[in-house]
Structure 1
Amino acid sequence: MFGFTKSSQTPVRGTVADQRRLPWQYLGAEGFDDETGLFYCVSPSGERHLGATFMTTPLLGGGGSVFEKFKAALACPLPAGSFVQVGLLGSPDIDPYLDAYTDGKEQATGLLEKLVRTRVKMFQDAVHKPQFKTNGVLNRDFRLIFTVKIPCSSLPDLEERQSIRSDVTRVMEGFSSIGFQFRMLDPHGYLHLIRKFYHMWEKPEFSYDELIPIREQAFYPGDDIEFKENEILFHQGSDQEFFVRVMSPKLFPKRTVFGVANLLIGDQMGGANQITEPFFFQFTAHYPDQVKKKGEVRQRHMWITQQCIGNSATWFPILGYKKEGIETFIHEIDGQGGMALEVNLSLMIFSKNRDRLARQTASLNSYLSTLSFDMREDKRILDFLWHNALPMNASADAMTRTFRTNTMSARQAAPLVPLFADYKGSGANATSLFVTRRGQVSAFSVWDSNTGYNVVVFAGTGGGKSFLAQLVIVDNLAEGCKVWVIDVGKSFFKLNRALKGDYIEFSEESQIILNPFTFVSEIDEDIDIIKATIAKMAAPEGGLDDYQMAALEEGIKATWDRYAHNSTVTAVAQWCMQQPDPRVRDLGQQLYPFTVSGSYGRWFEGEATIDVSNRFTVLDLLHLKSRPILQKVVLLQLMNRIATEMYTTPGRKILVLDEAWELMDDPLMAKAIEALYRKVRKNSGAVIFITQGVGDLFQSPNGRAIYANSAWQIVLEQRAESVDAAVASGQFSMDAFGIHQVKSLHVVPGEYSELMIKRSDSDYGIVRFRPDPFMFTLFASNGEERDEAIAAIEQGADPEEVIDFYTQKRLEKGN
């Protein structure tokens, strides 16, 4: 049945049996039943339970429906003496994110390998030293731990075990209806979790010996735990020494709302009011005998009502508050059949620095008072509070001894449960790493989508779009992805040169041929972009009507059928001139500037010479800005050429369209982009479309189509009026809190930029991007150092040495 029965109890005769020398005696888990997945637990006071522990990811938010479902699950009838615990653990366990980030980047060499290495180091360092001076939060990972314990006999038989397993399943199904994806812990997982509390900054083992009682395996030889008056000291004098202080609520708010627990762990806006250190926020609900407890509540109600008769409530206002609270409780349990719970809240804060821990508890007390929570540091009973808060370790005896319980209904208790934390990222991949305002390490990858990989980025001037785009490029290149960038400026010049990419500038002097037919693989696949390109040549301002577009398509196909890859714009124009319909002949005449005799003909006549086969190619159209017609035609043909290259290139591919906001008002350009999106999606590719204000995109049908075809939306700092315009359009739909979050996005120059990663109206999160010093120097797109670095690289200097030199130079200046 249980693993613990395979060995005898460890003898303690002749040993000083105290919590410092034999700490395992204060843990309850003894054995494990493989058949039901339940743990057999015996408390120091002799209470016996069967229980289970589950782990999941916290919610990002929730409204009325989440509250009702959670309240119903919490109010699920359980035998007297049962426990439900929900704990939010914020621990420095970020290695899984770093491992996922480096996974797939093993083949990165040179500068890419250096960028990956320095980014990992920055995140590792931030476990001990905060990234952001403004709030001092350390990097961490938030996890939710659910435990359910139900009383059992001293030796539960199979029937009893199966019955209790059914009760546990029923409770957890109620919690699962909210959207939690639970992972049930076996002895390996449970021991790893318990060991984490005693070794917060280490990597605990998963080892488990079924011949030894579980609780006796939780500690390592030499572990030292000392309960002092106002703190708990672990591993005194060793490199792993750390301290814990415990806080409990003295007074709860008179009124509160669901989700207030999200504020208890720190300001969601990233301000200074934070729990900066690792912590464990535990909610424990004890299910007493309901008949007895409700009788006690009614008797108390009568007593308080009696006290409030006359002027007593005037002289003692707290009586009025108590009367109001208990009447709400009576209404819940009598009028709605609610469940009476005995609730305990504990907040345990971990730190390697005793002084920092003292400052943390003091500042937290002040912050929580603004939320009407009076949280005080506990003293002298820390051993009871500590052991009672550990997962699956609560006991009725400990709750009674600590005097830290409050009787309330499930409806009253639900808002106090720590269900919420920060955005963890997009999914299984970790192409890029960020961190949230409250220190949660967050991973993002455009490839974490089932509906395509295209991205639209909203970035105002100075919002950090250049840095973000370069980060995405670098991280994807490190994973073997192929990247093209179409730019109007020099934002990517230094990065491209440093990574030995191809930088192709288009100007009057360029000797580049862009014949749209040279690289056609299947004419039916490419016809939409080719048609848009030649239509832009024929009618750069007014556009063509439907008849002319149909005739143009006929001419393109006829020319292809005759000349195949030797087709030219001149041949299409000649076909048009030979048609009897004057409207089609007009097309031929309108194409004249782009034929062999026209002013733009040299760009498109003959076999195409542009080479975009490099793993990282930047195509800069800045010098064509004075000739907007040619610039747009060249852009269309580049889009077509890159789409064709994606078709013939295995693996993942990304096209970045920077300064793309100028394309949205042109119907032909928008149609070409839609055709590009279709081709890219078929070939495991992604288009990252970078525009400006979030409100600007929705002012045209083209912009709305681009938005609709993008699986991801990334929003950087925006003007409030631009956000309001987007919301008013009806296309950018989010809840009120989400809109507030978008408006709060900001940049701290030289420190970090904030961005919202949005997959749907309810799936979004705010993260911060902080480049390490080496990355900052490489990505900087202005300043004297940029020009000097580029000159040195072009003269043959090693890119990594150049960036290192200017990084050190900048650090010496204190920037």
Structure 2
Amino acid sequence: MRNIMKAATLESKFPLMSVENGCIVSKDADITAAFEVTLPEIYTVTSAEYEAIHGAWCKAIKVLPDYCIVHKQDWFVKENYKPELQKEDMSFLSRSFERHFNERPFLNHKCYLFLTKTTKERNRRQSNFSTLCRGFIIPKEVGDRDTALKFLEATDQFVRIMNDSGFVRLRRLSDEEITGTKGKAGLIEQYFSLSTEEATCLQDIALSAGEMRIGDKRLCLHTLSDVDDMPSNVATDSRYERLSTDRSDCRLSFASPLGLLLPCNHLYNQYIFIDNSDENLKRFEKSARNMQSLSRYSRSNAINQEWIEEYLNEAHSFGLTSVRAHFNVMAWGEDADEMKRIKNDTGSQLAAMECTPRYNTVDCPTLFWAGIPGNEADFPSEESFYTFIEQSVCLFTEETNYRSSVSPFGMKMVDRLTGKPLHLDISDLPMKRGVTTNRNKFVLGPSGSGKSFFMNHFVRQYHEQGSHIVIVDTGNSYQGLCEMINRKTHGEDGIYYTYTDTNPISFNPFFTEDKVFDIEKRESIKTLLLTLWKKDNEPATRAEEVALSNAVSLYISRIREDDSIVPSFNSFYEFVKTEYSIRLEEKKVREKDFDLAGFLNVLEPYYKGGEYDYLLNSDKQLDLLHKRFIVFEIDAIKDHPILFPVTTIIIMELFINKMRRLKGIRKVIAIEEAWKAIASANMASYIKYLYKTVRKFYGEAIIVTQEVEDIISSEIVKESIINNSDCKILLDQRKFMNKFDAIQSLLGLTDQEKAQVLSINQANDPSRLYKEVWIGLGGTQSAVYATEVSTQEYLAYTTEETEKMEVYALAEKLGGDIEAAIRQIAEKRKEQKQ
């Protein structure tokens, strides 16, 4: 029986011949060079940078010979986040984070560029000459070897110009990336299945004037193929109102509505056809004369003649190159309702650009066919319009998704636009690339902006990657996280120091497990004793300092020799009262040089039986050198004249000891609500020293505060912190909108960085619970990210009193197991949502 079906095999219509040396060769002897394009991240480009990118494209296009086609193809395909659950050492909270984002849909963007060399005849063909309409295709030979070589030289120049711009990167695709392998689909196979998955199989393609279908995917096509469809004005960029304020501008490329802002599966094809510009202009001159001679018969001829004259005047006045251009959006869905929504969304985004939405049903098959990588010369010429290079490039999309850092170390944040988790390194990679010169951080955010929440998320992830964390806190912000770590390590880590009447804060500065007392340790003990002995306005004499140093050194020698001596302030006091007293008498040290009786009298309250005998005589014998997560909660003692100075000195001594002795291990000190901690001169000098030297010891210091004034009120610290913090982290600053200029000036932020900061939380997705945070690195890289976490992480980080009480009350019933309590509450909330 004769086959009467109107069907053909893909093989008989396939327009491509081969892929050789990174070039696609069509059966009509057209040569195409294919590239992957890396664009800047969305919301991070300034207006001046958009102009620079536009200028680079224009320069690059001008180096191509006549009868070339520039085809930029942007893929926006919905994908689902695949969680990283395969790691064996994942913590409970890390696993909860990954599960929270499991299957989270997001719009992934890939950009390709195809440069095609064709012939004058091919460049003029209409849709009825498409290879799709031919019964068979006879392969042709590449006619002129010199022409091909000149084209390839021009493509190399094109790549150099774009890469030298510093904003856009072009990478030549390999043969395998174009054709694919047995186990992985290449670019051409992905195009025929409209899928970016690694392994695919070809599906049936149904072509008709009314509908085009690939497998279950129905296509709809909107075209910009006529001057009448274009807006009256085009520009390199435009103001994005949703993230702009009356004091700041958020800029996106002019064509951004057809990019990541169009939330559906789609391809955005941008074509520029380079003819012989002089021939084009001569043809227009002739056409203008014809129109003028016919103007008496029709007013439209006169108007057309005026338009052509204006086009010619522009070309000759500014030396512009006449080209043809075409733009189309090819979107797809699977059912009628989805297609209706996609058509409406695409049309509205085109209208937002002031373009006339043109839903094209007739030429969908031929335009799809011309969009095949390497088949650009098959484009129907009647679908293009005449313009100039500068105007046509304005219709290029110039931004892409946020990218994860290519670094093994980092933290998980979330893309503010799509909600996809990102791996972000704000410590090591910026240092390697020369973006920053230190790892120090300055965190600023008013009350309620999510500052402590972000810091919990930050220190938890750094701790899980082996860092030593020391936190000076006010307000119990880290209590839940610290107790979880303590429970998990069976008390070996997660040390929480706080002051209560029943359990006052206590230390033993004289204890070390290995009995190693380096210079820093000795100096910190001496500084501690001087602080207890002398008032702030009563400096010690040189003789007193020497006598005290000798006392500390001799005591350290005694405890090393005699294991029966328990290192503590009590035994030190007794040593000074007895052995050291005798030594001073032997050396005939005068009382005016060192008043031993006065020294013992002032320090007596810290000796057993005294008012503060608990403070320096902790019996826990805890060496904090090897504890990786330590929190000092100082809110209850911040105004105490005795406890606060002692505590701050011991905290700083602890961290400096870690900093100098732990080689090759990351050390982080985070000081919350900085003004309370740096009020004393002792602490301020320590912080100044820290910020200048911590970089050399693989460490980072972090100051967290609500007001910039808290930092600048201390002259000692002001310059050290701001100038030595290459990473600045700001949260919602809307409360400071009217005085943000002062903050901008103090922190040295650019106008672009100011615009990013003021866009925080301006257009949050109501279906997701998160707060945004701005991270700036070295004044050259900056972006806004979302701090979105799982319910389990939220319960561990929360500072809401009612929620904390709920967790602790349940944990008490479960034998103190906070993790188990969080699991139960999270499950309960999940069930309530369902």
TM-score w.r.t. structure 2 length? 0.76
Offset of residue 346 of structure 1: 1.9
- For 1:554 and 1:307, locate their aligned partners in 2 and report how far apart those are by CA, in whole Å: 108
Q: 1:442 aligns with which of 422, 427, 433?
A: 422
Residue 411 of structure 1: aligned partner: 390
Aligned residue for 2:358, secondary structure, equals strand
Partner of 2:703: 689
Which of 779, 796, 803 is residue 778 of structure 1 equivalent to? 796
Cα deviations by residue, 1:35-68 (Å, 9 ceiling, x for unpaired): xx333234xxx25124232332435414436146
Of 402, 411, 428, the residue aligned with 1:431 is 411
Select 2:753's aligned residue among 738, 749, 754.
Answer: 738
- Equivalence for 1:788: 806
Q: Is the 8 A contact 2:511 2:622 kept in 1?
A: no
Q: Contact conserved, 1:459 with 1:717, CA < 8 A, in 2? A: yes
> Aligned partners of 2:425, 2:60: CA distance in 1, in Å?
36
Q: Deviations over 1:549-596 (max 9, x none)?
A: 999986776555544587999889999x9999999989x979946984
Q: Could you tell me which residue of structure 1 aligns to residue 103 of structure 2?
A: 125
Residue 622 (structure 1) aligned with residue 624 (structure 2): no
Write the deviation string for residues 207-251 of structure 1: whole angstroms up to 9, x where unpaired.
xxxxxxxxxxxx725x22334556543323xxxxx4443322362
Query: What letter is aligned with 1:682?
Result: K
Structure 1 residue 752 displacement after superposition: 0.9
Query: Is the aligned partner of 1:803 residue 2:785?
Result: no
- TM alignment of 1:368-407, pairs within 5 A: 368-395=350-377, 397-401=378-382, 403=383, 405-407=384-386
Query: How much does 1:400 deviate?
Result: 1.0
Secondary structure at 2:745 match in 1 = coil
Q: Which moved more, 1:63-72 or 1:177-186?
A: 63-72
Please tell me whether the aligned partners of residues 657 and 690 of structure 1 are also in contact (alpha carbons under 8 angstroms).
yes
Q: Is 2:77–2:265's contact at 8 Å kept on the other side of the alignment?
A: yes
Q: Separation in 2 of the partners of 1:83 and 1:505? A: 69
Supply the distance in 2 between the matched residues of 1:771 and 1:413 (Cα, whole angstroms).
43
Aligned partners of 1:734 and 1:762 also within 8 Å:
no
Seen in structure 2, the aligned counterparts of structure 1 residues 530 and 371 have a Cα distance that, compared at 3 Å, is farther
Distance 2:334 2:537 in 1: 68
Match of 2:214 among 205, 210, 234: 234
Q: How far did 1:285 drift? A: 1.4
SS in 2 for 1:804: helix
What whole-Å deviation, never above 9, does each CA across 1:465-490 have from its counterpart, x for those lacking one?
A: 23222222333344344433332222
In the TM superposition, what are the counterparts of 1:381-530 in structure 2 within 5 Å? 381-395=363-377, 397-401=378-382, 403=383, 405-429=384-408, 431-438=411-418, 441-446=421-426, 447-450=428-431, 451-499=437-485, 500=487, 501-507=493-499, 508=501, 509-510=503-504, 512-515=506-509, 523=518
- Residue pairs, 1:680-719, within 5 angstroms: 680-693=694-707, 697=711, 701=715, 702-719=717-734
TM-aligned CA distance change 1:700 to 1:620, over 3 Å:
closer
User: 2: distance between equivalents of 1:626 and 1:533?
Assistant: 18
- Residue 429 of structure 2: SS of its match in structure 1? coil
Compared CA separation, residues 621 and 678, structure 1 to 2 (3 A): same
In structure 2, do the counterparts of structure 1 residues 91 and 683 end up closer, same or farther at CA, with 3 Å as the change threshold?
Answer: farther
Structure 1 residues 113-152: Cα deviation after superposition (integer angstroms, max 9, x where no partner): x43334334334221xxxxxxxxxxx23333322222248
Mapped pair 1:648 → 2:662: yes
Structure 1 runs not aligned, ≥5 long: 1-13, 128-138, 206-218, 237-241
1:518-597 map, 5 Å: 523=518, 561-564=553-556, 592=602, 596=606
Question: Which letter does structure 1 place at the counterpart of 2:830?
Answer: L
Give me the whole-angstrom Cα distance separating, in 1, the residues matched to 2:17 and 2:35. 11
Residues 556 and 793 (structure 1), Cα distance of their counterparts in 2 relative to 1, 3 Å cut: farther
Separation of aligned partners in 2, 1:766 and 1:754:
7
Q: Post-superposition shift, 1:412?
A: 1.6
Q: 1:204: how far off?
A: 1.7
- Aligned mates of 1:693, 1:525 — CA distance in 2: 32
Change in Cα spacing, 1:141 to 1:600, as seen in structure 2 (3 Å) is: farther
**How many matched pairs?**
742
Of the candidates 769, 782, 793, which is equivalent to residue 764 of structure 1? 782
Per the alignment, residue 8 of structure 1 pairs with none
CA contact (8 A) 1:424 1:440 kept: no
2:19 alignment counterpart = 31
Letter in 2 for 1:343: A
Deviation of 1:742 after TM superposition, in Å, equals 1.1
Please give the secondary structure, in 2, of the residue aligned with 1:253.
Answer: coil
| 2:253 pairs with one of 254, 262, 267 | 262
SS in structure 1 of the partner of residue 232 of structure 2: coil
Give the superposition deviation at 1:172. Answer: 0.9
2:108 alignment partner, one of 126, 132, 141: 141
Residues 291-320 of structure 1, C-alpha deviation per residue, up to 9 Å, x if partnerless? 21232345566778999999979x99x979
Q: Within 1, Cα distance between the matches of 2:59 and 2:171?
A: 18
Equivalent in the alignment of 2:683: 669
* Pairs within 5 Å for 1:91-490: 91-92=77-78, 106-108=88-90, 112=91, 114-127=92-105, 139-151=106-118, 154-155=141-142, 162-179=149-166, 180-191=168-179, 192-199=186-193, 203-205=197-199, 220=201, 223-227=203-207, 229=209, 232-236=212-216, 242-249=217-224, 251-260=229-238, 262=253, 264-266=255-257, 274-299=261-286, 323=307, 327=310, 330=312, 333-352=315-334, 354-395=336-377, 397-401=378-382, 403=383, 405-429=384-408, 431-438=411-418, 441-446=421-426, 447-450=428-431, 451-490=437-476
Classify the secondary structure of the residue corresponding to 2:65.
coil
Quick one: structure 1 residues 422 and 773, their matched pair in 2 at CA, closer, same or farther if it must change by over 3 Å? same
Structure 2 CA distance for partners of 1:511 and 1:699, relative to 1, 3 Å = closer
Give the superposition deviation at 1:639.
3.0
Rate the CA distance shift 1:777–1:607 in 2: closer, same or farther, 3 A: closer
User: C-alpha offsets along residues 249-307 of structure 1, whole Å, 9 cap, x if unaligned?
Assistant: 36222223212463644499xxxx94222333232211111221232345566778999
Code of the residue aligned with 1:120 in structure 2: it is E
TM-score, normalised with respect to structure 1: 0.77
Name the CA distance, whole Å, in 2 between partners of 1:346 and 1:280: 8
Q: Cα deviation per residue 1:385-432 (whole Å; 9 max; x = unaligned)?
A: 22333444322x42414x1x2322222223221112343255534531
Rounded Cα–Cα distance in structure 1 between residues aligned with 2:787 and 2:743: 29
Query: Which whole-Å deviations, capped at 9, do the CAs of 1:313-358 have from their partners, x for residues lacking one?
Result: 9x99x979x84x974x546532343322222222233445542342
Alignment check: 8 A CA contact 1:72 1:174 kept: no
Superposed displacement of residue 806, structure 1: 0.7
- Root-mean-square deviation over aligned CA pairs: 4.6
Percent of aligned pairs sharing the same letter:
16
What CA distance in whole angstroms lies between the structure 2 residues aligned with 1:29 and 1:543?
88
Question: Post-superposition shift, 1:784?
Answer: 3.7
3-state SS, counterpart of residue 345 of structure 2:
helix
Question: Is the contact between residue 449 and residue 711 of structure 1 (CA under 8 Å) also seen in structure 2?
Answer: no
Q: Which residue of 2 aligns with 1:11?
A: none
Please, which moves more after superposition, 50-59 or 224-233? 224-233
**Aligned residues of 1:141 and 1:440 also touching (Cα < 8 A):** no
Aligned residue number for residue 213 of structure 1: none
If you compute each CA radius of gyration, which structure gives the higher value, 1 or 2?
A: 2
Distance 1:550 1:374 in 2: 85
Instruction: Give the 3 Å change call, closer, same or farther, for CA 300–807 of structure 1 in structure 2.
Output: farther
Gaps of 5+ in 2: 120-139, 180-185, 239-251, 432-436, 488-492, 560-566
